[in-house]
Amino acid sequence: MPTDRRNRFTLALQRRVGNPVAKLSPFQTLLETTGRKSGEPRRTALGGRRVGNEFWLVSEFGTGSQYIKNIQADRHVRVRLRGKWHTGTAHLLPDDDAAARLKTLPSLNSFGVRTFGTNLLTVRVDLD
């Protein structure tokens, strides 16, 4: 499937099915950013792993992801882990080997990111 069609398909599936269903689970990991245009909180269901006071994730579409664009405008975020909210500061790490990073993250989410991702980007959130 060409990259552009795959992106559109994946985004539509995530927006209309995946994210709304995942957000209903009280223990789904969520990333909350501030909308760069609206100023409103924006929550995205995602996968990643906490390591000490850091939370690591890999974005499927890199700087094309809306939550990445929001982080570029305001790095202050919140992450919900196991039902508890944590504040933090997000850092985009384009020089990190995102494919290698995925091997250290939960396998089910990493499989989806590898399968559908077209522009992988590592993100580290320093938790307060």
pLDDT value at position 24? 57
pLDDT value at position 1? 47
Give the DSSP H or E segment for 19. Answer: helix 19-24
pLDDT value at position 111? 87
Here the tokens at position 56 are 């690591």
Cβ(56)–Cβ(49) below 8 Å: yes
Instruction: Kindly provide the b/e burial profile for residues 104-124, where b requires at least 16 CB atoms within 10 angstroms of the residue's own CB.
Output: ebeeebbeebeebbeebbbbb
Per-domain boundaries in the chain: 3-127
The model's pTM is 0.81
3-127: which CATH topology? Pnp Oxidase; Chain A (2.30.110)
Could you list the pLDDT tens digit for every one of the 128 residues in the chain? 456 676 566 566 655 655 555 555 666 999 999 999 999 999 999 999 999 999 999 999 999 999 999 999 999 999 999 999 999 999 999 999 999 999 999 988 888 898 888 899 999 999 99
- Of the candidates 62, 73, 78, the residue with the CA atom closest to the CA atom of residue 123: 62
Q: Tell me the longest C-alpha to C-alpha distance in the chain.
A: 41
